[in-house]
Amino acid sequence: MGETADRALERLMDTYGDGILRLCALLLGDPALAEDAAQETMLRAWRGWDAFRGDCTERTWLTAIARNVCRSLLRSPWHTRRTDWTELEALPAPRAEPEDGAVLRAVLDLPVKYREVVVLHYYQELSAGEIGRLLRLSKHTVTTRLRRARERLKPVLKEWYEDG
């Protein structure tokens, strides 16, 4: 009938694994923790494969799982947000970043509610509507958070974008 969970997991990892790892790294700010989160995301997808109804794309479904895993890790009492920028900057990004990593550092310094929408919109290339469904927010709230995030990023990145 349908694809087995094992085959689906292999396909999902091949297709979306790098993107999920990047998403987790951007949300968590810690490459080692991001690897754990990406693995946990795939494990949860494998366990829940039979329950996946196809109401959204596989990418959106995996992004929702990854976001929930990352949020759980950020809320855990033992978690401290230490960042080794050199390891984060080595991760492949879908868009070119400036050589000095200014954009990445600025995004990681945003409060979580703004960081999530920026990462999902600019790095995962989801629309405001998709982000709203994923985060269970209205499209208006998503666009407001994106606007406020850009307002916070603008003074921090002023020198970078004026030089370009």
> Architecture of domain 95-164 in CATH?
Orthogonal Bundle (1.10)
pLDDT value for 156: 83
Hey, what's the torsion of the CAs at 16, 60, 108, 111, to 10 degrees? -160
Q: What is the pLDDT of residue 164?
A: 47
Q: What is the CATH number of domain 1-92?
A: 1.10.1740.10
Say what the pLDDT of residue 92 is: 60
Can you give the pLDDT at residue 1?
A: 43
Report the C-alpha gap between 42 and 51 in whole angstroms.
14
Taking the chain (164 residues) in runs of 10, the rounded mean pLDDT of each run is 81 93 89 92 92 88 93 73 54 54 84 91 89 91 95 83 53
pLDDT at 137: 92
pTM higher than the cut 0.75: no
Query: Which residues of the chain does CATH 1.10.1740.10 include?
Result: 1-92
Residue 66: the pLDDT is: 95
47-54: long-range pairs with CB below 8 Å, 24+: 47/5, 49/3, 49/5, 49/8, 49/9, 50/5
In the chain, ranges of CATH 1.10.10.10 domains: 95-164
Q: Is 99:71 a contact under the CB 8 Å cutoff? A: no
